[in-house]
Amino acid sequence: MRLRPLILAGILATFAAPALALSCQIRFLTEGEYVTLEAVVSSDSPAEGSYVMGVTTVTGSNSSTSMQGGPVVISHSEGPILLAKSVHRITEQTRLTAQLTIEADDMRTSCKANTDSVEDI
Amino acid sequence: MKKVLLSTVAILAMSGAAFAQTTGGAGANDQSFADAGESASAVNTNDSASARVNGESASASLADFTGTRDVTRSSASVGDDVIARAFGNGVGAGDVARAQIRPGSGGEYNQNVQFQVGNDNTSINMQVGTFQESATIQLGDANTALISQRRIANEAAISQVGDMNNTALVQDGVDNAAAAAAYGTMNTSFGLQVGGDDNILASAQAGSENSAVTFQKGNDNTAATLQEGTGNQSFINQGNETVNVELAAINGDRFGGGLPTGAIVSGSSVGSLGAVGNSAASLQLGANNRSAIVQTGSGNEAVNYQSNR
């Protein structure tokens, strides 16, 4: 049995929408062959609405999709608020696509991330 | 009572601790191992696979030890003070099957064990109450097993060895647990847990062209699905009623399903209520597999693991 030690990459990459009253962010945290995606929202004013984060991975002939969505309630100016997390196995061949969309009151913000390889993360 | 440990995955990741690991190798003894936190694990040694969710402890496992002896087996067990367990070792001479139900210290409850060998069998068990146990084993092809339970703290396990078998676990209530295991090809596993919180469902399938669908409605539910082989499909839906689900039982039968085959989920808004604190893990080992996880609400966490070993 060959054990592949985990190495904490310590990479925290962010893909953020432009600074608005309402802003979103997809955080990436890699560890070994896993990546954790976090959907994060910030706002400088109270807001209520909903969010959706979709993540797809394609590795060779395998593919996976995860979609997480639900309410966003910001009672006062605050951020960042963690909305959802998903963990995915990635390899050098994995193509990962993520999109976070937040709609609150009359505002809408969206963040996207596309990786052709793990090197992009 | 139940602790959702899948959620520790991301927490540990954030803290920098090792939360997941893999091992790999070449040759007949290839072994891959994925461990997400303490609760969702998958082990693959040639044709063996297992899925387990701890806490209230629901597990499903199956193994093919053809490399050492001509035995295939599948087992599913569920336990929380009480245990429902089903085990079968394959079809043919030397059949061994064991179904076990062990009540806990709480008193007298309903228990059911069914064992069927052959093809085209149907097993249906319905239970209404609390702390009920049901275990079903089917050895052969084209069998169907249904366990439907209502109310609180019920446990169900179904184990099947063969091809084209169907499993349905339907639990309506809270604090229920169910496990399904299947060895063979073109098997389907359907699990539905509605009516409340703190439910656990584990499903394991080894073979090809298998499909597993899990629906959970409520908060703090946990689902783990493991598939080993090629062309498998997995769909876990927690808190979202909008992506296909049908069901009834006790006993209006009607099962259902949803997604994969291309698996595209899209939309700018997914419900307004959703569920809270759910954890889902899908692990697939092999090629041409499809996995989809849909969660609505807040504080939900998903793990997607695919390996073309």
Nearest CA in chain B to A35: B13
Residue B75: pLDDT band (50, 70, 90) is low
Q: Of A62-66, A83-87, B48-52, where does mean pLDDT reach its minimum?
A: B48-52
pLDDT value of residue B271: 44
Q: Do B21 and A3 make contact, defined as CB atoms within 8 angstroms?
A: yes
Average pLDDT value for residue range A11-25: 60
Å between A46 CA and nearest CA of chain B: 18
Residue A41: pLDDT band (50, 70, 90) is very high
Per DSSP, chain A holds a count of helices (H) and strands (E) of: 0, 9
Question: For residue B23, is pLDDT > 70?
Answer: no
Q: Do B269 and A52 make contact, defined as CB atoms within 8 angstroms?
A: yes
Residue to mutate among A31, A61, A82, A87, with most B CBs inside 10 A, is A87
Q: Give chain B as a 3 state SS string.
A: CCCCCCCHHHHHHHHCCCCCCCEECCCCCCEEEEEECCCEEEEEECCCEEEEECCCCEEEEEEECCCCCCCEEEEEEEEECEEEEEEECCCCCCCCEEEEEECCCCCCCCEEEEEEECCCCEEEEEEEEECCEEEEEEECCCCEEEEEEEEECCEEEEEEECCCCEEEEEEEEECCEEEEEEECCCCEEEEEEECCCCCEEEEEEECCCCEEEEEECCCCCEEEEEEECCCCEEEEEECCCCCCCCCCCCCCCCCCCCCCCCCCCCCCCCCCCCEECCEEEEEEECCCCEEEEEEEEECCEEEEEEECC
Burial profile B124-154: b = 16 or more Cβ within 10 angstroms, e = fewer: bbbbeebbbbbbbbbbbbbbbbbbbbbbbbb
Q: Which fold has domain A8-116?
A: Immunoglobulin-like (2.60.40)
Between A43 and B55, the more confident residue is A43
- The DSSP H or E segment spanning A90 is none
Residue A99: pLDDT band (50, 70, 90) is very high
pLDDT value of residue A100: 94
Report percent pLDDT > 70 for chain B: 53
Assess contact for B2 and B56: CB atoms under 8 A: yes
Give the number of domains in chain B. Answer: 1
Q: Do B269 and A59 make contact, defined as CB atoms within 8 angstroms?
A: no
Task: Confirm whether B76 is domain-assigned.
Answer: yes
pLDDT value of residue B274: 66
Instruction: Kindly list the domain boundaries of chain A, sorted by start residue.
Output: 8-116
A96 to chain B: which residues are within 8 Å by CB?
A: none
Q: How do residues B227-281 score in pLDDT, each as one tens digit?
A: 888 898 998 888 865 555 565 555 566 655 554 444 444 443 344 456 778 888 8
Q: Do A36 and B22 make contact, defined as CB atoms within 8 angstroms?
A: no
Task: Confirm whether B3 is domain-assigned.
Answer: no
A84 to chain B: which residues are within 8 Å by CB?
A: 295, 298-302
Q: Do A50 and B272 make contact, defined as CB atoms within 8 angstroms?
A: yes
Q: Which residues of A lie inside 8 Å of B (Cβ-Cβ)?
A: 1-4, 6, 8, 10, 29, 31-34, 36, 38, 50, 52, 54-55, 57, 59-71, 83-89, 101, 103
pLDDT value of residue B116: 81
Å between B151 CA and nearest CA of chain A: 27
Q: How far apart, in whole angstroms, are the C-alpha atoms of residue B100 and residue B154? A: 15
Q: How many CB atoms lie within 10 A of CB A18?
A: 7
Prediction pTM value = 0.72
Q: Do B290 and A62 make contact, defined as CB atoms within 8 angstroms?
A: yes
Q: How do residues B84-110 score in pLDDT, each as one tens digit?
A: 555 554 444 444 445 555 544 444 467
Q: Do A71 and B272 make contact, defined as CB atoms within 8 angstroms?
A: yes
Q: How far apart, in whole angstroms, are the C-alpha atoms of residue B161 and residue B75? A: 9
Task: Confirm whether B142 is domain-assigned.
Answer: yes
Task: Among A2, A38, A101, select the one facing B24 at the smallest CB separation.
Answer: A2
pLDDT value of residue A120: 59
Task: Confirm whether B98 is domain-assigned.
Answer: yes
pLDDT value of residue A71: 87
pLDDT value of residue A97: 93
Q: How far apart, in whole angstroms, are the C-alpha atoms of residue B250 and residue B23? A: 44
Task: Confirm whether B70 is domain-assigned.
Answer: yes
Burial profile B42-80: b = 16 or more Cβ within 10 angstroms, e = fewer: bbbbbbbbbbbbbbbbbbbbbbbeeeeeeebbbbbbbbb
Greatest alpha-carbon pair distance for chain B in Å reads 56
Task: Among B21, B287, B296, select the one facing A69 at the smallest CB separation.
Answer: B296
Question: For residue B152, is pLDDT > 60?
Answer: yes
Q: How far apart, in whole angstroms, are the C-alpha atoms of residue A70 and residue A50? A: 5
Q: How do residues B201-217 score in pLDDT, each as one tens digit?
A: 888 888 889 899 888 88
pLDDT value of residue B1: 26
Residue B182: pLDDT band (50, 70, 90) is confident
Question: For residue B81, is pLDDT > 70?
Answer: no
Q: How do residues B157-168 score in pLDDT, each as one tens digit?
A: 888 888 898 888
Task: Among A32, A60, A66, select the one facing B20 at the smallest CB separation.
Answer: A32
Residue B37: pLDDT band (50, 70, 90) is very low
Complex ipTM, two decimals?
0.75
Between B126 and B58, the more confident residue is B126
> Residue B295: which domain range?
8-307
